[in-house]
Structure 1
């Protein structure tokens, strides 16, 4: 287990927590490096259906640990290596077929916001605040993460966040589409939503999540997507879903 990260499971739910509350859960290079491993573990676990990412204490994450930059991100080659590690963490989350949910309290800034945007869903507490601050550091934001941000909030709001580096509150974040919703009882609402995802057809969820990811990446439909849509029609989940609807009962999907 990487220092600064804690992974736990509860039934069909996996939870990855940033645990550096004394540093507002700033993300170290070691933590960036470990994220793809945790994501792969969730993807390969036949029991787990949803990954929740959150922060210990009062914050989600205030971003990358800037204290490491003078040693780990100094010079062109070091910058390229560090940024590759960040991109791999972001890509791992964005490419998940199982749903990911960012549960956000307090600061969700810089790299913390970057990771939340890579998740499929973002739910925030009323005290959450958001910002992406490369313009305060002389950094040009990653292409992959910029594309994800633009896809989520549009170019006008993406420019505001990136070029100004200003922070916005949870209400404004919901208004521009940066978060799905804001809840005072955050943990209860996230648990309920995760349970909803777990109750749905996992064949449907994972197939549609893959297609959405390709659309966000600017890719077009291929034979693989056509085949996946056709395969769903002969999957065990399909007759169960239809039968449950006609019999007016909750479905009991066999696929995990």
Structure 2
């Protein structure tokens, strides 16, 4: 079975990290295969939401450091490795479709990069978080650092990056590194239920909102052409007609991806 794979459950797809003997640490090949998997999900109109999860007891223990002696042994090799990791995180973050990281156990280093690349992060009380470049003499990449700062702010980003300390799920919730915290036996249901809620909403609205937020977080202050047209174009959509009709007829809307 592949160490990184897509499982489908109706209109929800799961990107499963399955390398349990390494606590789901990401190998060089796994980082390289992620963009194509994300593109596959984004192109599949039967899928509305992506859930990123680890198999077994852990989400992801980060990059496989045992490879660093060969994969990051020179400046050029380190640059190539860093580019591969950032390309993987970028591919996940830039999907049209919303994504949720479902986190249990270790979410360390590169595991945090993957979780931060998702739109939302749901975790259970077993989850532990750390970003550890300061233990390895590594500087976190620009894109991932910007994403971290945008989620938790500069002060706590400095705390995590300077110290490499591990924090609990409760601390992660306090600083908004995660969006939902539940007991372990409720994590899968809570995540799946929320994914189904997103799937029942207008995908024109969901994807348009995600695109606008991406632009805002990238530094757009004044609307460009796309940002201006997205709300206007929505008025011409089947979703708009169905949403208004359902409201007036006092029934639940039935949105369909077309």
CA RMSD after TM alignment:
1.1
Aligned residue for 1:84? 83
TM-score scaled by structure 2?
0.96
Aligned residue for 1:237? 239
Aligned residue for 1:98? 97
Residues 5 and 37, structure 2, Cα contact 8 Å, conserved in 1:
no
C-alpha distance in 2 between matches for 1:255 and 1:114: 30
- Report how many residues are paired: 255
Secondary structure in structure 2 of the residue aligned to 1:85: helix
Q: Hey, which bits of structure 1, 4+ residues long, moved more than 2 A?
A: none
Residues 49 and 198, structure 1, Cα contact 8 Å, conserved in 2:
yes
Residues 172 and 178, structure 2, Cα contact 8 Å, conserved in 1:
yes
Residues 131 and 166, structure 1, Cα contact 8 Å, conserved in 2:
yes
For structure 1, the 5+ residue unaligned runs are none
Aligned residue for 1:162? 161
The aligned runs of 1:76-155 (5 Å cut-off) are 76-155=75-154
2:202 pairs with 1:201: yes
Aligned residue for 1:189? 190
C-alpha distance in 2 between matches for 1:240 and 1:98: 21
Aligned residue for 1:217? 218
2:40 pairs with 1:38: no
State the 1:243 CA deviation. Answer: 1.6
Aligned residue for 1:226? 228
State the 1:107 CA deviation. Answer: 0.3
Residues 90 and 114, structure 1, Cα contact 8 Å, conserved in 2:
yes
- Deviation per CA, 1:62-119, whole angstroms, max 9, x where unpaired? 1000000010111111011111111110110111110011000000000001110010
C-alpha distance in 2 between matches for 1:211 and 1:253: 21
